[in-house]
Structure 1
């Protein structure tokens, strides 16, 4: 049975990162903000839809430190991420309005601070602004991917309620909040017994005298500590480096000898983790600007929407080559020969949603000759199928996708190429700029989910070829976009680890009319919602969701409005194939 409209995807998952939009009409309703859709949504993709747990925490922060009627709050894990949001808003409003913005920080109380050596803790930074500015703040939340996760929010809400997280009213000599604060005097007093109910801004410490360690155990279980979280991150970094390929538990993963990575000299120390894939792109771009200065970048090929927005809205802008063709590279080379210079070229391998692959070899050669960085997003290709690192200075990826698979946690990574001539410069700058904002519990889920990702990818590769062959052979289908069938297939296979079968789990399909596309989508008996790389097959009308307000612009780059994107999961091929055949039959019935 399909998941009902607005339900979590996967079902019964508190921290799901996709939401059920099971019909074409419900996707349109979501894009148009229609109440019959939005009122039923239990969650949404985290950068586009603020999780109810985060919404609730934001309201509590406003109740304590702001005005719930007039103001809104956006929540971040660090002062720097909050300042980036504040600065983005300030740059877009009249100077006289800037005084209405402020950053309020919350820090562990003295009770929590005394026990942080062995237990997880969290600070919280809240950008508070007039409600009218919410659309501007939302851009930062969406594009940067640096907002707090739903699990961190849940922890902070509980810590706030129990008096372990308090508003930080002190400041250091630099005027910034101190790392830890004892908080206002009222938070230091022992609570009455029995515990008073919370009737306003007053917060009390736990009346039963519990230690912070007991609080953490109650929220997470006995085993979650900073040590476990750090070990989980280390194991994830080793998997990404390619030096850990066995499906083993965390203890074995950390004790096993590291084999060679996916490129000579690559180690886990060259892998940087972020709270989401877009965060890895945003922070890589920010770090490159800090390294080289204010130069335009290049966005090569039709990208996932937020990559282009990042390059356009932060820094001096970008040169966009939406077709990602050889002719585009000719034009770029001509510009470079005439003296134009750029910071970096960002590209996806392959692209989303047309699954076209750029000529990475030529791009890499141009980068070396004309001294710009090459950044490749390998999320769709994934490093088990392809190895793009030899052609890049930095490789970024969304770990929320196939690396995790379970659609219940966000994460991202940036990997430095140790063979790059820029390696030492970049390594020094990345280490200096890096903030570890990946929440402890999210890291634990990423590690657990990713233990079998190699076996999952192998099965998904085979099933996707099987499904695309069914669609490719049907006269009802107009086009199937898949690396195997793409005119850029040679560029893709040049980076493959093997000679065949490594084409990935994502494809797009179009039909001869929008009516046919709607009939197919509505009849397709699989999960439907945003995201990709899930362990279950997931589909969405991609252009409708990603470019609803700019369909003509997308069409100018040959991205059809009625394109349907499919991410194949672990279902049995024959069963899944029958579902696709049934959806094709619905087109016939609709046309009869």
Structure 2
């Protein structure tokens, strides 16, 4: 949901939207009774905190600039924001508790992960970037489960904390933002209570985190991630040393771990569902579930249909965020093929390029993603240059251009690099890119979930790709399941009507983009069906596929862009793919410090990006028309 700015949340309120006052979005309450419970407005109105939201309300052009400039009138009201850019208050609270226990609260802070492996990535990123004499102050402290549990099913977690001097927080923040591997707000809430109650304790010499992770567990081997305890564990518990919580902590509080779990989750959200939820999600992503269905049906139903023949849920790997799927795919590719330069083809979402530049030996960037760029790449390949992989989006964000995947596949087959395609913008129901890729990644936070209250990501291997066997072996060996049990349950629930939502959003988007395309007030509409690369998109399009729910629009002056954005009566904030229409001045938010650079790749600094939701099409047309009327007045 959109995150409100300021205040506190009523008990047991889990999903809420915020935007402008109710009169601005009159249909939203009826559309999302389960989601939209309260409204907030940045400029002066009372606002509330919505604990699991994954976006933030920035309803005016001025408020977006204020956010980027760090102005107090915005920042003082923001209690949360997009999770990879704004550390959630529940995570901040856990950081404070961790540092209170094992650090110096006056001088130190921490970044939290759910496995030792991901914490080490953060540690190794920070140390070379700070003075050598300060490197010893950057350290990892692990917290591990202390309980013994006799019941058949329980839930456990591992917490690995990178602690460092506060002045290096901006360095650590890069890892949090780019890698997407940080813990979720739901996991942090669980960990905080587990620390308080003595069921999560600092690691002692008697058992290392790696030895804990290597103890056998029943259940799918591939979802018992090395270095992490992240969900439902069947069979005997992961006892640290055989002692009870009271023996380990010198306190007998008269409670057992089963009671603790019941209090944390309640009967309405059983942690026992986590494995089943993950299986259902993987089946949906593999394409073997071809209709909306509840969890029991998803577990029982399979189809011979899939993205490509032979694809199954065993080729799908889940991650805690879309960026985590990209980051870890890049890491695994380097393990398979060795450190080599990568290619970033087309103007990408900002963090993808940062990952390729900051981890590994480097990146060749083709920001236009044009046929001329492919000509240059082919020349380099013929002259002996070799690359790890080509990363691209289909279509791209925010210009909605489609790469020539057929030609890219031909070059990859000839010269031996991998192809990684991010399908987040259009999704696999609209286009089939897996047949041309080695790995397809996606942010499940977006349209797959829709409710905007949980993060997630996926990577799918092409079983017919030339690198499939080596990739499958490496994923099985290196993959960690970092998806928190409760997040998986919410993600599965949200995605049950994924197919129906896509159809409606496709249809509405075509109507709205046609309306804008016909207006003389509009300079340009960026949408796959209007793009010069439409033939490339159509080559990928499924028989019943559409052109997706995301488009961008530009006007003839900054005043006109501001008038359109400020007047458009929809939710305002980062993210996309939400069940409600969501708008943002994308270039300002993603590239505020590098607008000229973005402009050199045809990204207009005053571009407005719109993600279409489930509103009635006539209602949304009326809102867009009122925004266009404001543009007319600004022009005059």
Smaller-chain TM-score range?
A: over 0.9
| 1:52 aligned residue | 89
Deviations 1:371-412 (A, max 9, x none): 000000000010000000000000000000000000000000
1:431: which partner in 2?
476
2:532 aligned with 1:487: yes
- Specify the SS of the correspondent of 2:525: strand
1:17 is aligned to 54
Post-superposition offset of 1:586 = 1.1
Matched, 1:120 2:155: yes
Q: For residue 589 of structure 1, what is the aligned residue in structure 2?
A: 633
Q: Distance in 2 between matches of 1:442 and 1:290?
A: 29
Residue in structure 1 matched with residue 591 of structure 2 by the alignment: 547
- 2:618 counterpart of 1:560: no
Contact 1:182/1:188 (<8 A) preserved: no
Q: Which residue of 1 aligns with 2:434?
A: 389
State the shift of 1:206 in Å.
6.8
Within the candidate set 556, 562, 586, 1:518 is matched to 562
Q: Does residue 321 of structure 2 align to residue 255 of structure 1? A: no
* C-alpha spacing 1:97/1:568, structure 2 compared with 1 (3 Å): same
C-alpha deviation, 1:212, in angstroms = 1.3
In the alignment, structure 1 residue 320 sits paired with structure 2 residue 355: no
Deviation at 1:225, TM superposition (A): 5.2
Distance 2:394 2:414 in 1: 22
Contact persistence 2:323–2:352 (CA under 8 A): yes
Alpha-carbon deviation of 1:210? 2.4
CA distance in 2: counterparts of 1:62 and 1:442, whole angstroms: 25
- C-alpha contact 2:3 2:81 (8 A) present in aligned 1: no
Asked if 2 retains the 8 angstrom alpha-carbon contact of 1:471 and 1:477, the reply is yes
CA offsets 1:254-307 (integer angstroms, 9 cap, x no match): 112343211100000000000000000000000000000011000000000000
Q: Which residue of 2 aligns with 1:94?
A: 131
Q: Alpha carbons of 1:300 and 1:171: their partners in 2 closer, same or farther (altered >3 Å)?
A: farther
Q: In the superposition, relative to structure 1, how do residues 186 and 382 fare at CA in structure 2: closer, same or farther (>3 Å)?
A: closer
Gaps of 5+ in 2: 8-15, 19-35, 39-49, 214-237
Number of residues paired by the alignment?
574
Residue range with higher mean Cα deviation, 279-288 or 150-159? 150-159
Call closer, same or farther: CA 1:3–1:273 in 2, change over 3 Å: closer
Q: What is the Cα deviation at residue 75 of structure 1? A: 0.3
Q: RMSD value over aligned CA atoms? A: 2.1
Distance in 1 between the 2:205 and 2:239 partners?
Answer: 7
2:207/2:240 contact within 8 Å kept: no
Of the three residues 331, 345, 362, the one matched with 1:300 is: 345
d(CA) in 2 for partners of 1:183 and 1:73?
A: 27
* Partner Cα distance (1:546, 1:340) in 2: 31
2:450 maps to 405
Report whether the alignment pairs 1:217 with 2:262.
yes
Residues 277 and 185 of structure 1, relative CA distance in 2, 3 Å threshold: same
**Deviation (angstroms), 1:189:** 4.8
State the 1:222 CA deviation: 2.5
Distance 1:28 1:171 in 2: 52
**Is 1:265 equivalent to 2:310 in the alignment?**
yes
Equivalent residue, structure 2, for 1:246: 291
Distance in 1 between the 2:573 and 2:211 partners?
A: 40
The match for 1:444 is 489
Q: Quote how far apart the aligned CAs of 1:170 are.
A: 2.3
Q: Which position in structure 1 is the counterpart of 2:621?
A: 577
Contact conserved, 1:169 with 1:177, CA < 8 A, in 2? no
| 2:149 is equivalent to residue 149 of structure 1 | no
Normalising by structure 2, we get a TM-score of: 0.87
Aligned partner (choices 107, 128, 133) of residue 168 of structure 2: 133
Q: Alpha carbons of 1:545 and 1:9: their partners in 2 closer, same or farther (altered >3 Å)?
A: farther
Kindly indicate whether residue 523 of structure 2 is the aligned counterpart of residue 472 of structure 1. no
Partner of 1:73: 110
Instruction: Provide the residue aligned with 2:414 in structure 1.
Output: 369
**Kept after mapping to 1: 8 A contact 2:265/2:271:** no
SS at match of 2:293: coil
The structural deviation recorded for 1:165 is 1.3
Q: Contact 1:62–1:73 (CA<8 Å) still a contact in 2?
A: yes
- State the partner residue of 1:234: 279
* 1:168 to partner: Cα distance: 1.4
- Mapped to 2, the partners of 1:489 and 1:413 lie a distance apart of 26
Alignment partners' CA distance in 2, 1:167 and 1:116? 24
Distance 1:451 1:178 in 2: 35
CA distance in 1, matches of 2:443, 2:302: 26
